[in-house]
Amino acid sequence: MIGGGLAIVGAGSWGTALAIVLAPRFPRISLWVYEKDLAERMRAARVNDLYLPGCCLPANVRVETEFAPALEGAATVLSVMPSHLVRAIYGQMLPWIDPSMVFVSATKGLENGTLLRASEVIFECVSARFEPRVAVVSGPTFAREVARADPTALVVASTDPSLAASVQASFSGPTFRLYTSPDPAGVEIGGAVKNVVAIGAGVCHGLGLGSNTQAALITRGLAEMTRLAMALGGRPQTLAGLAGLGDLVLTCTGELSRNRTVGLELARGRKLEEIVTSMKMVAEGIKTTKATVDLAARHAVEMPIATQMFEMLNFGLPPREVVRRLMDRTLKGE
């Protein structure tokens, strides 16, 4: 088990929920909040009224807007920022981190351009000063359900088994159960690409298509995720577990899924810009779709669902045409 304090960097719904569920496991938690006005309200009311209203912060959670006090005394740094902000935020954090810290990424996404996973971005940034110990956590988790103490299971992965076991022991509690994995590549690809497939699930629902279609999309989406993960050195059994199939089913079927909502609203005729503007939180699948398609091309991995999502999001391909193109593909074996 890792002793000392915990710094959570990012106070969206997921970062706030993690602060709530992990509070009993750490003597002190610092929650870094980007929006200064939100931080003031959180200090006063002990509630994140913007991203997770109705869920109270425990007394040992300290709200910070500066990195120096947020990282002071932290043995573990848990990053929960959107994937496109990981590099910039870690760059700003560098003066206040040290080799004694453990870094855990709970970000689900890929960096456009470099096509790196969040843990790879962290490693690259921190290596400018020292070689960091990095783990990733992922799985089927809606923030609100975690915050209200619904039983939840997820995965902590690292190429260092002792690090994964330490994070598992530190984070696990009565309603929050972690399983270890030696496969961060598989875990992160599952967490990133399931958001792309979930946009497709929302399209199917928005078009009024039934359970047959949803089941087919989820199953073939899992096949795409698995092929990409394996091309990056991931294990197929990882994608059959919580960080793959589990997270995919949740995000494709759950009413709280932001990425599913994007697809649903597109199928109902709304424009992407309008949908994004109306959302308080980031739907990671929008940015991750391009990175996924680019990564698949780099490794010669066939990903027809991701490709059609890319065409729809970036070139306005009509949702019904997306479905038609997927069904008209050349017949083949499973």
Reduced DSSP (H G I as helix, E B as strand, rest coil) percent helix, strand, coil of the chain, to 5: 55, 15, 30
Give the strand pairing for 47-48 and 52-56.
antiparallel
Residues 212, 21: Cα–Cα separation, whole Å: 36
Distance of alpha carbon 187 from alpha carbon 304, whole angstroms: 21
Residue carrying structure tokens 């929008």: 286
Q: Which residue has the tokens 């996404």?
A: 109
Known active-site residue 290: no
Residue pair 61/29 in contact by the 8 Å Cβ criterion:
yes
Structure-token pair, residue 318: 């009509």
List all residues 6 or more positions away from 208 whose beta carbon is below 8 Å from its beta carbon.
none
Active-site option among 36, 108, 194, 271: 194
Q: Active-site residue numbers? A: 194
